[in-house]
């Protein structure tokens, strides 16, 4: 089973994240940030990755540390669960609409982390959460999980719709990329023969 649990404790946050890559999209998420919980639930449901997250952070300061560290912890759990990445499809892409908004997500489970973020929001906040923090989450997640990730908002007016389509896009692209390739079971999808931090 491709499962992992990560605990990340700092002076700013205490986070536990657990994933099952071969799940059914069940989730149990509590970060103390309502909108982030909503997005992580969308991510779990549409990726079919079972996700459990418990986070306590310095929310009396702002939401930055909890948002970023949650991305790190979930990313680390995904990386551990992927192991040597043998047998996976490796690449995934998705176009996801939500009403007037359309987002594109493209992922490569290359173990070479990189984020392209071509996203503009129309509002500085969603509820109490700064919209600029979503880039921090995606950056932290991509870095910790070892993903090359291209995220684009192609168009949209409502920031809630834009963000939600981004998380759903990531979910659908990652669902494709981590799926087992029936045509190459057990084979590492690289001419190097390895997808590791050093290659």
For residue range 19-49, what is the model confidence (pLDDT) as tens digits? Answer: 999 999 999 999 999 999 999 999 999 999 9
Q: What is the pLDDT of residues 68-114, one digit of tens each?
A: 999 999 999 999 999 999 999 999 999 999 999 999 999 999 999 99
Structure tokens at 124: 């500085």
How confident is the model at residue 182, as a pLDDT?
81
pTM listed for this prediction: 0.94
Query: Three-class SS of residue 163?
Result: helix
Of 54, 192, 44, the closest CA to residue 110 belongs to 192
Structure tokens at 55: 């986070």
How confident is the model at residue 26, as a pLDDT?
98
H or E stretch including 82?
A: helix 64-82
Summary count for the chain: helices (H), strands (E): 4, 10
Dihedral sign for Cα atoms in the order 20, 16, 135, 198: negative
Q: Give the Cβ contact number of residue 64 at 10 Å.
A: 16
* All residues at 6 or more sequence positions from 198 whose CB lies less than 8 Å from its CB, including other chains: none
Q: Which fold has domain 3-177?
A: Ribosomal Protein S5; domain 2 (3.30.230)
Structure tokens at 26: 């069940």
How confident is the model at residue 187, as a pLDDT?
63
Q: What is the pLDDT of residues 104-154, one digit of tens each?
A: 999 999 999 999 999 999 999 998 999 999 999 999 999 999 999 999 999
Q: Quick one: pLDDT band at residue 1, thresholds 50, 70, 90?
A: confident
Whole-angstrom distance, CA of residue 150 vs CA of residue 176: 15
Q: Quick one: pLDDT band at residue 196, thresholds 50, 70, 90?
A: low
| DSSP helix, strand, coil percent of the chain (3-state; round to 5) | 35, 30, 35
Q: What is the domain partition of the chain in residue ranges? A: 3-177
Distance from CA of residue 142 to its chain's centroid?
7
Dihedral sign for Cα atoms in the order 65, 175, 102, 106: positive
Query: 50 has which bridge partners?
Result: 20
């Amino acid at each position: 089973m491709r499962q992992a649990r990560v605990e990340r404790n700092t002076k700013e946050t205490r986070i536990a994240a657990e994933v099952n890559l071969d799940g059914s999209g069940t989730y149990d998420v509590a970060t103390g940030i309502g909108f982030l919980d909503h997005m992580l639930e969308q991510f779990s449901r549409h990726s079919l990755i079972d996700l459990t997250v418990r986070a306590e952070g310095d929310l009396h300061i702002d939401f930055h540390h909890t948002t970023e560290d949650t991305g790190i912890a979930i990313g680390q759990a995904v990386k551990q669960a992927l192991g040597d990445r043998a047998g996976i499809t490796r690449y995934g892409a998705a176009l996801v609409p939500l009403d007037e908004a359309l987002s594109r997500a493209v992922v490569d489970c290359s173990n070479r982390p990189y984020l392209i973020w071509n996203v503009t929001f129309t509002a500085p906040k969603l509820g109490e959460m700064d919209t600029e923090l979503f880039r921090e989450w995606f950056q932290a997640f991509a870095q910790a999980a070892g993903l090359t990730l291209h995220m684009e908002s192609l168009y949209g007016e409502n920031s809630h719709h834009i963000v939600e389509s981004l998380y759903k896009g990531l979910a659908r692209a990652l669902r494709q990329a981590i799926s087992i390739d029936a045509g190459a079971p057990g084979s590492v999808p690289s001419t190097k023969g390895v997808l590791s931090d050093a290659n």
